[in-house]
Amino acid sequence: MTTLAELIAAEAEAFGARSGRPLPARADGVRAFLPESGPPLALIAEYKRSSPSHGPFAPQRVGSAVRRFEELGASAVSVLVVERGFDGSLADLAEARAATSLPLLLKGFVSLPGQIDEACAHGADAVLLIARVLGAALGDFVRRVRSVGLEPLVEAHDAAELAAALRTGARCIGINNRDLGSLRTDTSLFLRLAPLAPAGAMLVAESGYRRSADIRAAQRAGARAVLIGEGLLDPAGGTPASWAEVTADVG
């Protein structure tokens, strides 16, 4: 199993290999990520080519995938850009930007400030910042993301990380049900941690959502958005016809 430390190091090494190259000029403006005026429960649909816990997904072009996410009713698209273990790249993010007007979240193991500049240049509107990855530097990275006009989504997996995420003042807080060390997933984690956040917080429930009942439970616990990847990419997941179908009786 690839460890989190190995993934972070591999991403930092890949960034070092391409640093110094000129970044593309961004031609479009930044889109609002999870605006307060959005739906009661928003869907962030994730595109990834592979994962250490699942292996490769059925091959599909980035453009066709994100257009399907639009038809499903997604409010935003997460693009996993990690190369090692996930086969992702910044090219996937750029291709998604060309295919959709939905806001895009760059998802990866960001540990260097320059990765934030790359995210902006390749079309991201938001950047995932993982408390476990950034530690004491988390607040600095939140400020850096905001300085380039993007929205930070700060991710926590336990109570201490959630407290650290809240101290940064980030508007969007993710609670990841998947332990990045063991890769075990438990959707009850969100239900336990969500009450520790202030009422009305923009909480994003991440990982493990395949059943409508689990999604509705997360919404009742305070989720304002749910990030779903494997449940949409794996045909065995039983993808719903529309997000409205899933959320018809929540509110």
207 is catalytic: yes
Scanning the structure block, which residue is given the tokens 């190091």?
A: 9
The catalytic residue among 75, 78, 176, 177 is: 176
227's enclosing H/E stretch is strand 223-228
The catalytic residue among 107, 151, 161, 230 is: 107
176 is catalytic: yes
Pull the structure tokens for residue 172: 């969007």
Pull the structure tokens for residue 170: 């980030």
182 is catalytic: no
242 is catalytic: no
Distance CA 23, CA 16 (A): 14
Q: Rounded to the nearest 10 degrees, what angle do helices 113-121 and 4-18 cross at?
A: 70
Q: Rounded to the nearest 10 degrees, what angle do helices 113-121 and 138-147 cross at?
A: 30
Pull the structure tokens for residue 55: 């292996």
The catalytic residue among 118, 155, 161, 230 is: 155
46 is catalytic: yes
Tell me if residue 155 falls in helix, strand or coil.
Answer: strand
The catalytic residue among 11, 161, 206, 230 is: 206
Q: What is the DSSP string of 20-59?
A: TSPPPPP-SPPPPSS-TTS-SSEEEEEE-SEETTTEEPPP
- DSSP lists the bridge partners of residue 79 as 47, 106
Tell me if residue 189 falls in helix, strand or coil.
Answer: helix
Pull the structure tokens for residue 68: 């399907």
The catalytic residue among 11, 48, 151, 177 is: 48
Angle at 40 (CA atoms; ends 38, 41), nearest 5 degrees: 100
Query: So which residues are the catalytic ones?
Result: 46, 48, 107, 155, 176, 206-207
